[in-house]
Structures are given as C-alpha cells and as structure tokens.
Amino acid sequence: MNNQRGLATFEIILVVMIIAVLTTVAVPKMARLVDKVQLDYEMKIFLSTLDFAKSLNKNAFYNGEIFQYTDLDKVSMVQINIIENLRRYEVKQDSEVLKYHDLPKNFSIADNLNGIIYFTKSNSGHVTLTSKLGDKRYIYIDSVGRWSGANQERYQ
C-alpha cells in the first residue's frame, strides 16, 4: 500500500504553468484597462478646466470674431497655457496662475493652438492627450468657444 502525502513535482509544475498562462493573459488586459481609465479621467479634468476658465468670462459675449464684455471694468485676460515638455496645463488670469494640473508620468499633451487657449478672443483647434500606452483623446475647440471630446477611434 502506497500512502502518498504531499504533491508530486509534476503536479506542482502543472499548477505553476496554469497560473503563468492565466497571468500572461490577464496582466496586459488589466494594464490596458487601467491606462484607459486614467486617460478618461485626465480628459475629464481637462474639460472641467476649460469649464472653469470659461466661467471666469461669464460676462463676455461673442460678437463676430471677438469676445466683447458687458461690463468693461471686469475685463481680464483668461487663458489656458499648455506646457508640453512639463506635461502641464494652467489657467492664467492677467498673468496670475489660478489653477494648474500636471499629467501623470508618461502621459503627454499637445495642441495646434500655439500652446495657448484664449477665452477673450476666438481661436479654434484641438488638444491631444496621449496615455503611456499610446491611446489618445482629442478635445476640439471651435471658433466660438465651444469644445467637445472624442476617442481616437472615432476620428481615424
């Protein structure tokens, strides 16, 4: 009679191989999911920053190609500066930084607006947020100060 106690080497190797295969499949999917969630979060922060900057210009209205103010005593220059190398953007009002946000490591931001989104005159273009795995989100800004966001798949 053979009373075997414990596990055979083959059984241990088999369990380790099954765990390795499951890990090989699950880890990249989890990394992609975490990256996507981080990118969506960063996009929402950027859109709320646009809302914040626009709210500073509540007394402005659009007339042709420039913003005009109902109360000229409250005129101030509000803009968002995009600093690509530092992966940062900041809301400035009359050269004072009111709010800023640094992107996470390996994220990047780019634009075709010469690094500045003005809220006292019209400008149009887009801002691109790129994650560490290369996914992109675009924020399109039109000439009357409206914006919308999109995934890269939608505009390819």
Contact 114, 142 (CB under 8 A): no
Task: Look at residue 135 and tell me if it is in a domain.
Answer: yes
Give the CATH number, domain containing residue 45. 3.55.40.10
Task: Look at residue 68 and tell me if it is in a domain.
Answer: yes
Q: Residues 9-41: pLDDT tens digits? A: 888 899 999 999 999 999 999 999 999 999 999
Q: Kindly tell me if the per-residue pLDDT of 70 is higher than 80.
A: no
Distance CA 105, CA 35 (A): 12
Q: Kindly tell me if the per-residue pLDDT of 114 is higher than 70.
A: yes
Task: Look at residue 4 and tell me if it is in a domain.
Answer: no
Task: Look at residue 134 and tell me if it is in a domain.
Answer: yes
Task: Look at residue 3 and tell me if it is in a domain.
Answer: no
Task: Look at residue 150 and tell me if it is in a domain.
Answer: yes
Please, which contacts does 42-45 make with residues 24 or more away whose CB atoms are closer than 8 Å? 42/103, 42/104, 42/107, 42/129, 42/131, 42/137, 43/129, 43/137, 43/139, 43/149, 45/101
- Looking at per-residue confidence, does 20 or 72 come out higher? 20
In the block, residue with structure tokens 């996470």: 104
As a whole number, mean pLDDT of residues 109-129 equals 81
Q: Kindly tell me if the per-residue pLDDT of 69 is higher than 60.
A: no
In the block, residue with structure tokens 């600093």: 83
* Domain coverage including residue 45: 9-155
Among the ranges given (20-24, 28-32, 104-108, 121-125), the one the predictor scored with the smallest mean pLDDT: 121-125
Task: Look at residue 113 and tell me if it is in a domain.
Answer: yes
